[in-house]
Amino acid sequence: MISLRNHVVSLAAVFLALALGVVLGSTAISGRLLSGLSDDKSNLGKQVTDLEAQRNALQGKLTDADRFALSVGPLAVRGALEGKSVVMVTTADVKPGDRDAMNGLLRSAGASITGELQLTEAFTDPTKADQLRGLCARMLPAGVQLPTASDPGTLAAGLIGPLLLLDRGSGKPQATADETSAALTGLAAGGYVRQGPGLHPAQLALVLTGGTLSGDSASDRSATVARFAVQLQRSGSGAVLAGRTGSADGSGALAVVRADGGGSAALSTVDDLDLPAGQVVSVLALREQAQGRSGRYGTAVNAQAPAPTSANG
């Protein structure tokens, strides 16, 4: 007869054997698993290295392309705006390098730059929209009518457009020098604009902005700039709204313009102002505006083409 002690010893031996089997089995499985993971890590490491090499090669090509565009830009636009005058309007977020580059290219194109007007942060501040509307009504020159729209961007352009742009038909100023000075001084005193030296009316307007805005009021600010540019185009012989890469995506000013298939169609837009090629395209788009044509140019998915075609240029 088997004693209780022998029975316990037998059970203990069985459990010990099972435990030993589990350990040995898991060790073998762990070895195969670790070996497989090691192979996966090596493969992924190689893929990362290959992708980094491709990225570096593409970045090198883009850098070379930018250098080429930068070197041939003045030649590409030579004479494009001969005999034309251009006023620059810049938003608070525009990059100084973009503005300086456009100044140089406009001069290379033969354009006469009549000055710059900067729209401040207050200009697009939704909390100051009512004050801006009231100021536009008070500063309006004789013979000029504000648009029927109620948004601050359109109303501000209804005032500023006739001050900065010559009449499309007659080519003459739409306000007297005193009216222009009084209105711009009033806007500057309210903190809405900063006036550059020697500012006077031009045939065409180039509106420069930055990339996409962020924050709670970003969409409202972008809409104000967009509607300002659309109305400004109607005040003279043409206008171009140019922004940095990404400005045509999301809630940027260019995105607002391009999402509107109606009255904004006459305004030309360029979405890669930060690239030398986009700066050249901005000049060519101004020439196209002077000829009564428009387009949406750049690298964004909602652009019509990278640049105006020769047929349109």
- Same structural domain, 68 and 137: no
User: 290, 204 in Cβ contact below 8 A?
Assistant: yes
Question: Does residue 157 share a domain with residue 189?
Answer: yes
Please check whether residues 70 and 90 belong to one and the same domain: no
My answer on whether 173 and 252 are in the same domain is: yes
Six-digit token string for 169: 């038909």
H-type alpha helices, 2-120: 4-76, 96-108
Question: Considering the domain boundaries, does residue 310 fall inside one?
Answer: no
Is residue 307, in this structure, part of any structural domain at all?
no
Dump pLDDT digits (tens) for 34-50: 777 777 777 777 676 66
Same domain, 142 and 283: yes
Would the pLDDT of 12 be above 80? no
Find the CATH number of the domain harbouring 113.
3.40.50
Instruction: Let me know whether 242 and 175 are in one domain.
Output: yes
**Residue 309 is assigned to a structural domain of this protein:** no
Statement to judge: residues 225 and 271 lie in one domain: yes
| Cβ-based neighbour number of residue 79 at 10 Å | 10
Residue 217's domain comprises 80-297
> In sequence order, what are the beta bridge partners of 296?
269
DSSP state, residue 308 = -
Q: Measured between alpha carbons, how far is residue 122 from residues 187, 213, 245, 278 in Å?
A: 11, 15, 24, 28
pLDDT in tens, 87-98: 999 999 999 999
Residues 133-169: pLDDT tens digits? Answer: 999 999 999 889 999 988 999 999 999 999 999 999 9
Integer Cα distance of 13 and 187 in angstroms? 96
Q: Is there a domain that residue 251 lies in?
A: yes
Domain count, the chain: 2
